[in-house]
C-alpha cells in the first residue's frame, strides 16, 4: 500500500498508474506501482540503482508495455497505445543516456521533435510559412537551454553536457504538457548543474515535471513531492522535507549524515 | 580510449605496415612491375596480358573505366541494400532474389514491347523500350518488397536473426519460382523455363564507342551510361536523405529508432517507404545489369554477395560508404581481371574474385565497422 499522494485530490490528474508492473523474464523490475501526478506538479522519483525508476519511465512513455496494471495520462487510458501516440498527447521525455540523432544538426533535431509531435505527417511538400514558424520555434527552444551558438553543428560532435541541453530542448520544443527527465544532471559540471536547476525552476507552471535524479540537491530543490522506489516498488511518498526526515530513505539511499539537522 | 582502439580493429605497427606494404605492392605491380607476355608464350610472376600501366597506358585507363562503371552498377544495387539495413537493421537476404525477379520482369516487358523475340538487335531498341521495362520492374519489385516487409518482417521487428532467416526463406522461394517460370520468351528450339540466361537490350543510341581523346582510348557508351545512372542514383539518394523532411526522419531513424517514436514520429511509414525504395533499387540495378551482361539463374546469389561485400567494406547503412565500397570493389575487381599474372597465352585468370575478398578482409581487419560505418 502506498501512502496517499500529497497532491490535491481534485486537481486534474496528469498521470495515473494503477497496479503497474513490468517483468523481464524472471525479474520483476516494476511491481504493483500506483502513482498519481497532478497538473503542474513537480515530482521527483528517487531510489537506488536498480529500483525500477527508468523502467517505470519507459512504461509510462510507452517504450515498454506494462505487464500488469493500467497507465492513464491526461485522463485517457493509454496502456495499449504506442509511444508516439503518447508523445503526440503531450508527453515528452529525455533518456538517461542521451538518445539523440548524431547525424543531424542541433536545429534539425529540435525541428524534427516539433514536427513529430505536431501532425507528424511526412508531407513531401514543404509549406513555407509553417516551415519557417517551426524553424523559428526550434531556434527559440535552443535559446531556452542556451545552445543557440551550436545550432548548425552535428549533434554527434557535441559534448556530453551539450547533449543534455539538446535533449531537453527537443523535449521542450514540442510544448509538452508533461515533461519526464531521466537523470538530466548526470555527468554535468557544477556550472551546468546550476543552469539546469535554474531552467527547471523557471519552467512554465503549466508543464507537469517528473524527474528521476541522483543529485539530491537538484531533486529536492526542484521537486514539490517525492516518490521513493526500491526493488520495483514505491516505498514512500512525501514532500522533500518528509523525505529528508524519513528513516527508511536514509538507510536505503541517502547514506549516513544526510539531512540530519 | 579502449573503445576507440577496438573500433579500429587490428592494432600495432607490424600488421599495419604489412597491410600498407601489400597495398603499395599491388599498386606498384600495376603501375610498373607487370610485364607484357613475351612472344614465345612463356611467363613468370610478372607476366600479365598487357603489362604495366607504363607499357600500355590505354589498357590501364580502360581498366580504370571498367572498374568505375562496374562500381556504378554495384552502387545502384548495394545502396538499396544499405538503405534497408541502415534504417531497419534488416539484412535483406532476399535482395539478390529481388534483383533476379526484377531483371526477368524487365526482360519480359521489353520482349513484349519490341515484339521481336529473342536475338534482339540492340540498335532496334529505342529509349522508351528500355525505360518502360525499367520503370515497370522497379514498381513491381518495390511493391513486392513492401509486401514482404509488411506481411513478414513488420511483426518480427527487432528480432534480427528471425528477420534474416525469413528473408533467406523468401530468397529461396522467389529464386526457385523465378527459375520455374522465367524466361517466358526464348528463341525457338530452346527450353522455355529454367532460368536461362537472357539479356535486356540497352537503347540503340548507347550501342557505340566514344572516343575519350585520352591516350586514344575509345570506350563503350552504354558502360558510361551505367556509371552516370549510378551517379544519378547517388545524387538522388543524397538529396532525398539530406534535403527533405522524410530524409531527415530516415537519418534520425538510422541513429536511434526508439527516440524517433519518443518524439512522436511514425517511423513505420518511413520503414515501409525505405523498404519500397530499397527493393526498387534492386530492380533498377537488375535492369542495368541485365542490359550490360545478362539475367540468369545464380545472379541472385551473386548480387546478394556483391551487395554484402560492398556494404561491409563501406559500412552498413551509410550512403557514402556504399559509394566508396562500390568504387573500391569495382576497381579491385577490374584490375584483378586485367592484371593478375597469367601464363601469357592470352588467357584470363579466374582468381580475380579472390582479391575482392582480400579487400574485404583488409578493411575488416583494420576497421571492422567498415570505412564509413559507426562503431556498433
Domain limits of chain A?
1-90+176-261, 99-175
**Could you report the per-residue pLDDT of A181-226, keeping only the tens digit for each?**
999 888 888 888 888 898 889 888 889 999 998 888 888 889 999 9
Closest partner residue to A101 (CB to CB) among B256, B270, B374 is B256
Q: Which of B71, B143, B70 is nearest to B102 (CA)?
A: B143
CA–CA gap between residue B104 and residue A246 (Å, rounded): 75
**Taking CB atoms and an 8 Å cutoff, what residues of chain B touch A113?**
263-264
DSSP string, B59-78: HHHHHHHHHHHHHHHHHHHH
* Residue B142 or residue A252, greater confidence: B142
Residue A249 confidence (pLDDT): 75
Closest partner residue to B261 (CB to CB) among A84, A100, A109 is A84
Residues B100, B175 contacting (CB under 8 angstroms): yes
Mean pLDDT value of segment B321-343? 88
* Residue B194 or residue A141, greater confidence: A141
Residue A260, pLDDT above cutoff 50? no
pLDDT range class, residue A7, cuts 50, 70, 90: very low
Closest partner residue to B256 (CB to CB) among A99, A111, A124 is A99
**Could you report the per-residue pLDDT of B252-285, keeping only the tens digit for each?**
888 888 788 888 888 888 889 999 999 999 999 9
CA–CA gap between residue B329 and residue B313 (Å, rounded): 8
Residue B236, pLDDT above cutoff 90? yes
Of the given ranges (B18-27, B37-46, B216-225, B261-270), which has the lowest mean pLDDT?
B37-46
Mean pLDDT value of segment A32-42? 91
Residue B227 confidence (pLDDT): 96
B295 SS3 class = strand
Residue A93 CA from chain centroid, whole number: 5
CA distance A252 to chain B (A): 32
Cross-chain residue pair B259–A99, CB shorter than 8 Å: yes
Q: Which residue of B has its CA nearest to A98?
A: B259
CA distance A111 to chain B (A): 10
CA distance B158 to chain A (A): 13
**Taking CB atoms and an 8 Å cutoff, what residues of chain A touch B263?**
84, 87, 92, 112-113, 116-117, 170, 174
Question: Across A37-51, A146-160, B97-111, B202-216, which has the greatest mean pLDDT?
Answer: B97-111
Residues B259, A99 contacting (CB under 8 angstroms): yes
Best A64, A100, A101, A179 member to test B by mutation, with max B CBs in 10 Å, is A101
pLDDT range class, residue B4, cuts 50, 70, 90: low
Right CATH number for B2-32+48-366 from 1.10.260, 1.10.3470, 3.40.50, 3.30.70? 1.10.3470
Mean pLDDT over the full length of chain A: 84
- pLDDT more than 70, % of chain A: 88
Helix axes A128-144, A160-173, angle to 10 degrees: 130
**Taking CB atoms and an 8 Å cutoff, what residues of chain A touch B270?**
122
Mean pLDDT value of segment A72-84? 90
Cross-chain residue pair A116–B245, CB shorter than 8 Å: no
Closest partner residue to A122 (CB to CB) among B245, B256, B259 is B245
**Taking CB atoms and an 8 Å cutoff, what residues of chain A touch B259?**
95, 99-101
Closest partner residue to A120 (CB to CB) among B255, B256, B264 is B264
Residue B52, pLDDT above cutoff 90? no
Judge whether A99 is closer than 8 Å to chain B, CB to CB: yes
- pLDDT more than 90, % of chain B: 43
Looking at domain A1-90+176-261, its CATH class is alpha beta
Cross-chain residue pair A95–B259, CB shorter than 8 Å: yes
Q: Which residue of A has its CA nearest to B269?
A: A122
Q: Who contacts B76 (Cβ-Cβ below 8 Å, separation ≥6)?
A: B229, B230, B233, B281, B284, B285, B288
Q: pTM here? A: 0.82
Cross-chain residue pair B262–A61, CB shorter than 8 Å: yes
Buried b (16+ CB within 10 A) or exposed e, A158-171: beebbbbbbbbbbb
Mean pLDDT value of segment B319-348? 83
Residue A226 CA from chain centroid, whole number: 14
Of the given ranges (B13-17, B69-73, B318-322), which has the lowest mean pLDDT?
B13-17
Mean pLDDT value of segment B21-50? 80
**Could you report the per-residue pLDDT of B130-173, keeping only the tens digit for each?**
999 999 999 999 999 999 999 999 888 878 889 999 999 999 99
* Residue A250 or residue B314, greater confidence: B314
Segment 246-265 of chain B within 8 Å of chain A by CB = 246, 248-249, 251-252, 254-256, 258-265
Residue B336, pLDDT above cutoff 50? yes
CA distance A124 to chain B (A): 7
Cross-chain residue pair A61–B270, CB shorter than 8 Å: no
Residue A20, pLDDT above cutoff 80? yes
**Taking CB atoms and an 8 Å cutoff, what residues of chain A touch B255?**
100-104
DSSP string, B336-359: HHHHS---SSS---S-HHHHHHHH
Residue A128, pLDDT above cutoff 80? no
* Residue B75 or residue B155, greater confidence: B75
Residue B293, pLDDT above cutoff 70? yes
Cross-chain residue pair A112–B248, CB shorter than 8 Å: yes
Mean pLDDT value of segment B285-302? 92
Question: Across A100-109, B106-115, B274-283, which has the greatest mean pLDDT?
Answer: B274-283
**Taking CB atoms and an 8 Å cutoff, what residues of chain A touch B258?**
63, 83, 99
Residue B133 confidence (pLDDT): 94
Judge whether A174 is closer than 8 Å to chain B, CB to CB: yes
In chain B, where the domains are located:
2-32+48-366
CA–CA gap between residue A252 and residue B128 (Å, rounded): 76
Residue A261 confidence (pLDDT): 38
Residue A86 CA from chain centroid, whole number: 13
pLDDT range class, residue B305, cuts 50, 70, 90: very high
Amino acid at each position: 500500500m502506498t501512502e496517499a499522494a500529497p497532491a490535491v485530490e481534485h486537481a486534474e490528474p496528469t498521470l495515473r498508474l494503477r497496479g503497474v508492473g513490468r517483468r523481464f523474464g524472471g525479474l520483476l523490475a516494476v511491481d504493483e506501482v500506483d502513482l498519481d501526478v497532478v497538473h503542474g506538479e513537480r515530482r521527483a522519483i528517487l531510489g537506488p540503482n536498480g529500483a525500477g525508476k527508468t523502467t517505470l519511465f519507459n512504461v509510462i512513455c510507452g517504450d515498454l508495455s506494462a505487464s500488469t496494471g493500467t497507465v492513464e495520462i491526461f485522463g485517457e487510458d493509454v496502456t495499449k497505445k504506442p509511444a508516439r501516440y503518447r508523445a503526440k498527447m503531450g508527453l515528452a521525455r529525455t533518456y538517461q543516456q542521451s538518445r539523440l540523432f548524431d547525424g543531424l544538426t542541433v536545429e534539425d533535431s529540435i525541428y524534427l521533435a516539433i514536427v513529430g509531435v505536431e501532425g507528424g505527417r511526412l508531407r513531401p511538400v514543404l509549406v513555407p510559412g509553417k516551415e519557417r514558424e517551426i524553424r523559428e520555434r526550434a531556434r527559440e527552444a535552443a535559446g531556452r537551454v542556451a545552445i543557440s551558438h551550436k545550432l548548425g553543428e552535428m549533434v554527434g560532435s557535441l559534448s556530453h553536457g551539450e547533449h543534455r541541453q539538446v535533449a531537453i530542448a527537443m523535449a521542450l520544443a514540442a510544448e509538452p504538457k508533461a515533461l519526464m527527465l531521466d537523470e538530466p544532471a548526470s555527468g554535468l559540471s557544477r556550472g551546468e548543474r546550476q543552469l539546469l536547476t535554474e531552467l527547471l525552476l523557471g519552467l512554465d507552471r503549466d508543464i507537469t515535471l517528473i524527474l528521476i535524479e541522483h543529485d539530491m540537491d537538484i531533486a529536492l530543490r526542484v521537486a514539490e513531492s517525492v516518490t521513493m522506489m526500491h526493488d520495483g516498488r514505491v516505498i514512500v511518498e512525501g514532500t522533500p522535507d518528509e523525505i529528508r526526515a524519513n528513516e527508511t530513505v536514509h538507510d536505503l539511499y541517502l547514506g549516513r549524515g544526510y539531512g540530519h539537522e | 580510449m579502449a573503445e576507440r582502439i577496438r573500433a579500429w580493429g587490428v592494432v600495432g605497427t607490424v600488421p599495419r605496415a604489412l597491410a600498407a606494404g601489400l597495398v603499395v605492392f599491388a599498386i606498384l605491380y600495376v603501375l610498373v612491375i607487370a610485364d607484357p607476355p613475351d612472344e614465345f608464350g612463356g611467363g613468370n610472376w610478372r607476366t600479365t596480358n598487357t603489362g604495366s600501366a607504363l607499357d600500355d597506358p590505354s589498357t590501364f585507363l580502360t581498366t580504370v573505366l571498367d572498374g568505375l562503371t562496374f562500381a556504378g552498377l554495384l552502387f545502384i544495387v548495394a545502396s538499396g541494400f544499405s538503405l534497408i539495413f541502415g534504417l531497419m537493421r534488416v539484412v535483406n537476404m532476399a535482395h539478390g532474389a529481388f534483383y533476379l525477379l526484377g531483371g526477368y520482369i524487365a526482360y519480359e516487358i521489353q520482349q513484349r514491347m519490341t515484339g521481336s523475340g529473342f536475338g534482339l538487335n540492340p540498335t532496334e531498341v529505342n529509349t522508351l523500350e528500355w525505360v518502360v521495362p525499367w520503370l515497370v520492374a522497379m514498381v513491381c519489385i518495390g511493391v513486392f518488397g513492401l509486401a514482404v516487409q509488411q506481411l513478414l518482417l513488420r511483426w518480427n521487428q527487432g528480432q534480427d536473426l528471425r528477420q534474416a532467416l525469413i528473408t533467406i526463406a523468401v530468397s529461396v522461394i522467389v529464386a526457385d519460382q523465378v527459375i520455374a517460370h522465367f524466361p517466358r520468351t526464348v528463341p525457338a528450339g530452346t527450353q522455355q523455363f529454367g532460368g536461362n540466361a537472357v539479356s535486356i537490350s540497352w537503347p540503340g543510341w548507347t550501342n557505340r564507342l566514344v572516343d575519350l581523346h585520352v591516350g586514344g582510348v575509345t570506350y563503350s557508351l552504354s558502360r558510361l551510361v551505367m556509371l552516370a545512372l549510378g551517379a544519378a542514383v547517388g545524387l538522388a539518394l543524397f538529396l532525398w536523405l539530406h534535403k527533405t523532411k522524410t530524409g531527415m526522419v530516415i537519418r534520425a531513424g538510422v541513429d536511434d529508432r526508439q527516440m524517433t517514436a519518443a518524439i512522436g514520429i511514425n517511423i513505420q511509414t518511413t520503414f515501409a517507404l525505405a523498404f519500397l525504395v530499397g527493393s526498387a533499387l534492386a530492380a533498377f540495378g537488375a535492369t542495368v545489369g541485365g542490359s550490360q551482361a545478362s539475367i540468369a539463374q545464380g545472379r541472385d546469389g551473386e548480387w546478394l554477395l556483391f551487395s554484402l561485400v560492398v556494404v561491409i567494406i563501406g559500412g552498413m547503412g551509410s550512403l557514402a560508404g556504399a559509394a566508396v565500397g562500390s568504387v573500391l570493389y569495382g576497381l579491385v575487381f577490374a584490375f584483378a581481371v586485367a592484371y593478375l599474372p597469367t601464363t601469357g597465352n592470352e588467357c584470363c585468370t579466374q582468381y580475380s574474385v579472390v582479391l575482392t575478398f582480400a579487400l574485404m578482409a583488409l578493411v575488416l581487419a583494420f576497421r571492422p565497422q567498415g570505412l564509413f560505418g559507426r562503431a556498433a
